Structure 1
Amino acid sequence: MTTTASLDSPSVQLDPGSEAVIPLQIRNNGTVVEGYDITVVGAPAGWAIVEPAQVSLYPGTSTTATVTFRPPRSARTPAGEQRFGVVVTPRDNPHEAVVPEGVVEILPFLETTAELIPRTSQGRRGRHQVAIDNRGNVPVNVLVHAGSEGDRVRLAVDPLGLVVPPGEARFTKVRVKARRAIWRGQPVTHPFVVEVAPENSTPVALDGSYVQTPVIPKWLVWLLLGLLLLAAALIALWFTVLKPTIESQAKEAAEEAAAEAEVAAAEAKEASSAAKENAEAANGAASNAQKSADKADEVAGQDPPPRVLLNDVSTRLHTTPLDNNAGEDTYDVPEDGVYRLTDVVLSNPQGDIGRATLFVDGDVQMEVALENFRDLDFHFVSPIVASEDIRLVVTCRTPGTPPDSPPAARCDISALLGGELSVPNTE
């Protein structure tokens, strides 16, 4: 073997986002000058750098290169041991390549974020969602608790505990209801706090509020008062104008009616015989109606059409394109289903630069520049209806810099969708 190579430290422990440098010793045992190409293979190759990547050695001499590992602080960097090899290939004798091997142990890290959607609700009861995003590289157990000062509202969390895989988001529901009703008066705001407690990490406190509205709204009192005033005006009009006029006209009408009554008596006698004939015809029509009713009962006894199920559905679209590239993620609406989109939360945690476009059934619904926001909420009074798909397309111009981390190599954009999904019930 004309070439030997060895790593000064074949194993290293490393936190994501940090750096480790391992010296590589190379010696030319041959009799001619030899050039070498140095590359890293294995899972860590994507975040490993060799300096220099090419060297030349005289016979009987040696040199030192360095292998630098910089694993990104991302959920895509899994915790645990990752084996690698450094391939040292002689250019004139590539079949005599040597491959010293080593192990990089990636240490786990926790980074959990949470958001309350919406922050404020109102009505007879409030409904919220907590979006929990695990940006660490190991699964995290999370407990969710809600409380308020004075215990004036009931707070229900479902579920109380959940497990969030790395790089994914999970949701829990928070329902708020006042302990005592307000019959009339001004709305009352009840602040509350939702605490998201990841295991072995600092809890996150989310402030929210519930606006309790009175059972009898203020506008209803004014409406009743207006109706009373209108009734009083109509009564006054009746006694001063309408009643005298009607009495005069009624007297004249009574005299005319008496004369007409005599004529009508004679006509009534003739009509009685015609009524008898009509009664017989009515009996026949009643018989036909009964037959039709019996047939309708038979039709009514048939199975009803399938019912439609309505479900609250939240989903997350996530894409991480390289700079000067585009990426996309799609939520496909189930066959024969209808998705009514009510909430969209766009997240740009790194401060990337570029453009994000949201398509609904192929039509552009919204288009925003990434540099204008970190978190952006949209809430629609009239839901946006999707019957085919909802697609997030991100054009990455320049990746940003995550907090306490080196500049990212990719953009990291996500969209949290909230709404209702209706599908045919085949049960």
Structure 2
Amino acid sequence: MGAATALPVRDLHVEPGATTTATMLVRNTGQVVDQFTIDVVGACAEWTKVEPKVVNLLPGADVEVTITFAPPKSPSVGAGVVPFGLRVLSREDPPGSTVAEGSIDVAIFSDVQIELVPRVSRGRRRGKHQLAIDNNGNVPTTVHVTAADEEEALDFAFDHEVATIEPGAAAFIRIVARPEKRFFKGADKQLPFVVTAAPSNAEPVATRGTLTQRQLLPSWLLPAIAILAVLAIAAVILYETLLKPKIESTAQDAALSAASKANKSLASKVSQASSQAAAANKNANKAKADASRATAKVSASSTKPGPPAAPTGVTGPGGANLAGGTATSFVVAPTATQTPGNATTFTVIDGGPALNSKQLLVITAVVLQNPNGDQGRLLISRGSGAAGETLFNEGLVNYRDLDHHFEDSPLIFTRSKPLTISLNCQAAGQSTSCRPNILFSGRIVTAQRAVG
């Protein structure tokens, strides 16, 4: 029971934008009158039509069904073999439904379109264009772009000369046209050129463009210079005929008035100066007497011993001069693996330079950096273990950049009490480990005797 089908031609061929047909025989192999529904399955179902779609057949009867394939000439339908199935569904005996399989070969077609934007450019030294290339075919294509002008007056530059374009896609190529010769003044020159795009699977296509070359001097420059010259001449004439005589008269009046005021002021100042000179002479005599008395007191006390001189530098352990030594600067980058929830797990690092028994590391500045936003705790100690002295206890999340300075009270480390870094990592910012940085600046000084 059910249906039987016969598709005489299973391998078909069709051109995009055209149609092709095939016939299929459908027979009722059941014992009762049955209704059959025919449809198409597969990628070609959108552009395939079946006539008739529904047939009623007596037992043992058959009918021819026409299948029309009409792929559009569009990039949405790719070239190549497209398999399909003709499904015949029985209403009375669904398990007896059947499918006839076949394939249709969609032919290749090429359609490359180009557009130059803008078609006309303007400039003194160059013109900028963009070539839009659309692949409206149904296969990928590689396009090679060239440009030329008949007078060979232009040089062309491309950001790229070859583009591979998928069906239905577009590519854009920037083109710069530069004139080989320039001119300072004159009318604009029209320099036409042709841009050609040669697809790998189709005939070349071309479009025209034009560069309007302008003079190097701006068009407004010469009129502006002429106007400025006229204004300058008018200003000179106005000054010589009207303003200069008035200014000279006003200046003379102002000079006479100023001279009169100056004479009065000078007489007043002379009188005042005389009074001040007399007072100054009196004060000088008094100062001379005071100086004589002070000299006598100094002579009387010159035999008494004075206080001891102040030291020239700050002295540290072992008699070291903390202001001397050799400048040093170094970076310590401790690394610790994440231990979420375990705040007692620290990675310990000896971060200072190697010291001998007489050397001291004097730290005057510390810069803490946490660029990755790690979370945890950082300890800076003098010495390690139970005898270690914690100097800094910083939460990584509290800073990105943090600096400390100790010029007046520097941090001192020795061989027995070295600089020690301890890092606890709770949550790394960008990887599986915390990576803060510490910059130390200071000096290495040498003591007069061993310090550790």
TM-score (norm 2): 0.57
Tell me the distance in 1 between the aligned counterparts of 2:172 and 2:269: 79
C-alpha distance 17-266 of structure 1, shift in aligned 2 (>3 A)? farther
Deviation per CA, 1:197-256: give whole Å up to 9, x if none. Answer: 111212221111111121212321111111111111222222222222222222222222
On the 8 A contact 1:185/1:217 being kept in 2, the answer is no
1:205 aligns with 2:210: no
Tell me the distance in 2 between the aligned counterparts of 1:266 and 1:46: 114
Aligned residue type for 2:224? L
Task: Report the equivalent of 2:393.
Answer: none
Tell me the distance in 2 between the aligned counterparts of 1:134 and 1:268: 97
Q: Which shows bigger deviation, 81-90 or 238-247? A: 238-247
Task: Report the equivalent of 2:23.
Answer: 23
Larger strand percent: 1
Task: Report the equivalent of 2:99.
Answer: 99
On the 8 A contact 1:114/1:196 being kept in 2, the answer is yes
TM-score (norm 1): 0.60
Tell me the distance in 1 between the aligned counterparts of 2:201 and 2:178: 32
Matches within 5 A, 1:99-138: 99-124=99-124, 125-138=126-139
Secondary structure of residue in 1 paired with 2:228:
helix
Task: Kindly state the Cα deviation for residue 266 of structure 1 after the two structures are TM-superposed.
Answer: 6.0
On the 8 A contact 2:2/2:97 being kept in 1, the answer is no
Aligned residue type for 2:261? E
On the 8 A contact 1:34/1:57 being kept in 2, the answer is yes
C-alpha distance 258-92 of structure 1, shift in aligned 2 (>3 A)? same
Tell me the distance in 2 between the aligned counterparts of 1:246 and 1:151: 65
Matches within 5 A, 1:311-390: none
Matches within 5 A, 1:237-252: 237-252=238-253
C-alpha distance 164-266 of structure 1, shift in aligned 2 (>3 A)? farther
Deviation per CA, 1:140-199: give whole Å up to 9, x if none. Answer: 100111111212122112210010111111100011122122211222221111111111
Tell me the distance in 2 between the aligned counterparts of 1:142 and 1:266: 98
On the 8 A contact 1:120/1:209 being kept in 2, the answer is yes
Task: Report the equivalent of 2:48.
Answer: 48
Tell me the distance in 2 between the aligned counterparts of 1:186 and 1:195: 29
Deviation per CA, 1:306-353: give whole Å up to 9, x if none. Answer: xxxxxxxxxxxxxxxxxxxxxxxxxxxxxxxxxxxxxxxxxxxxxxxx
Task: Report the equivalent of 1:192.
Answer: 193
Task: Report the equivalent of 1:10.
Answer: 10
Aligned residue type for 2:98? V
On the 8 A contact 1:130/1:173 being kept in 2, the answer is yes
Secondary structure of residue in 2 paired with 1:75:
coil
Deviation per CA, 1:93-134: give whole Å up to 9, x if none. Answer: 111011110011112211111111111111232111011111
On the 8 A contact 2:146/2:196 being kept in 1, the answer is yes
1:58 aligns with 2:91: no
1:233 aligns with 2:225: no
On the 8 A contact 1:34/1:92 being kept in 2, the answer is yes
On the 8 A contact 1:146/1:157 being kept in 2, the answer is no
C-alpha distance 96-235 of structure 1, shift in aligned 2 (>3 A)? same
Aligned residue type for 1:202? E
Task: Kindly state the Cα deviation for residue 34 of structure 1 after the two structures are TM-superposed.
Answer: 2.4
On the 8 A contact 1:146/1:156 being kept in 2, the answer is no
**Gapped runs of 5+ residues in structure 1?**
274-427
C-alpha distance 62-130 of structure 1, shift in aligned 2 (>3 A)? same
**Gapped runs of 5+ residues in structure 2?**
277-452
Task: Report the equivalent of 1:169.
Answer: 170
Tell me the distance in 2 between the aligned counterparts of 1:100 and 1:126: 61
Tell me the distance in 2 between the aligned counterparts of 1:31 and 1:232: 117
Aligned residue type for 1:114? I
Tell me the distance in 1 between the aligned counterparts of 2:115 and 2:244: 68
Tell me the distance in 1 between the aligned counterparts of 2:139 and 2:9: 26
Tell me the distance in 2 between the aligned counterparts of 1:120 and 1:255: 71
On the 8 A contact 1:13/1:104 being kept in 2, the answer is yes
Tell me the distance in 2 between the aligned counterparts of 1:131 and 1:206: 11
Tell me the distance in 1 between the aligned counterparts of 2:257 and 2:242: 24
Tell me the distance in 1 between the aligned counterparts of 2:67 and 2:129: 50
On the 8 A contact 2:38/2:50 being kept in 1, the answer is yes
Aligned residue type for 2:161? L
On the 8 A contact 1:50/1:67 being kept in 2, the answer is yes
Tell me the distance in 1 between the aligned counterparts of 2:266 and 2:209: 79
Matches within 5 A, 1:248-287: 248-265=249-266
Q: Which shows bigger deviation, 129-138 or 119-128? A: 119-128
Task: Kindly state the Cα deviation for residue 2 of structure 1 after the two structures are TM-superposed.
Answer: 4.6
On the 8 A contact 1:38/1:89 being kept in 2, the answer is yes
Aligned residue type for 2:219? K
Percent of residue pairs bearing the same amino acid type: 39
Aligned residue type for 2:30? G
Tell me the distance in 1 between the aligned counterparts of 2:268 and 2:150: 83
C-alpha distance 264-188 of structure 1, shift in aligned 2 (>3 A)? farther
Tell me the distance in 1 between the aligned counterparts of 2:35 and 2:195: 63
Aligned residue type for 2:37? D
Matched positions, count = 272
Tell me the distance in 2 between the aligned counterparts of 1:20 and 1:268: 121
Task: Report the equivalent of 1:87.
Answer: 87
On the 8 A contact 1:139/1:166 being kept in 2, the answer is yes
C-alpha distance 256-84 of structure 1, shift in aligned 2 (>3 A)? same
Tell me the distance in 2 between the aligned counterparts of 1:147 and 1:267: 91
